[in-house]
Structure 1
């Protein structure tokens, strides 16, 4: 079982992340699932009536605006980072928190490394599925790499000069 970082601690993963080419065939009714955006867009009516928890995941080229009317249905929104150098979903997380008021879990998935966690958290992420070849306990230390920040963020809306 994979471990993830959530709310500042390493926990066992309980959600099932479905692959990008998943279909409704064989999906269990009571498991907690994170479905790809394509499956949500084509089968949202069937997914809404399931008994298990529901989340959605977006690839880096997919837009948050495609799900804003449905945010109330998702307990988890997972944003995929296909490569360390692809940071498009930093903005997506910030939009979810600040513009659309999403209060559920925002999870980083894909090529997620310790070096990114501090900055992801400042953008609104509260859960991280680090790469399978990395130690989640080591990655957890990345959340406290810096003790003071100057700029505003989702977690700290006041700049440093206003906090004094």
Structure 2
């Protein structure tokens, strides 16, 4: 796809002022205004790399991988709660024991899937071109509260998730055994 003259000019400007923008964004992050730094990166990214094929392919892949990891973590946390709930019973029926075994097997499988998804995420990260989008994703990972952005809360509510209900599950960690325990409902 051929760039228009306006697009070429925007890209040239974004590349020329990138060192200054990086310093501004670092300052914003250091002073606790990382959301503003993210918005600046997004704008710069649209100008600078909007027509870069590698970046266009990498960003959605990274986001899909993050979502897959969240799905696994949420399912794992749910199964752990169910196992603990059933395990607290004084007398376990054969059905309870069978269900516990099935859940334990699924938890083992989920642990393997998460390991693979984390490795895939790392490989995607390594292949992602250095760009405002890449730096934005790095910042996102430093701040667990990033997922409470308005657009993500609206998306969660629109899919019938907790942001559209009073339970407020999305504001709490999904569990205690994983670092990436925060996220919106993936159901």
Does the pair score TM above 0.5? Answer: no
Which has a greater percent of strand?
1
Which has a greater percent of helix?
2
TM-score band, normalised by shorter chain: under 0.3
Higher RCO (CA 8 Å, separation ≥ 6 residues): 2
After TM superposition, the score normalised by the length of structure 2 is: 0.24
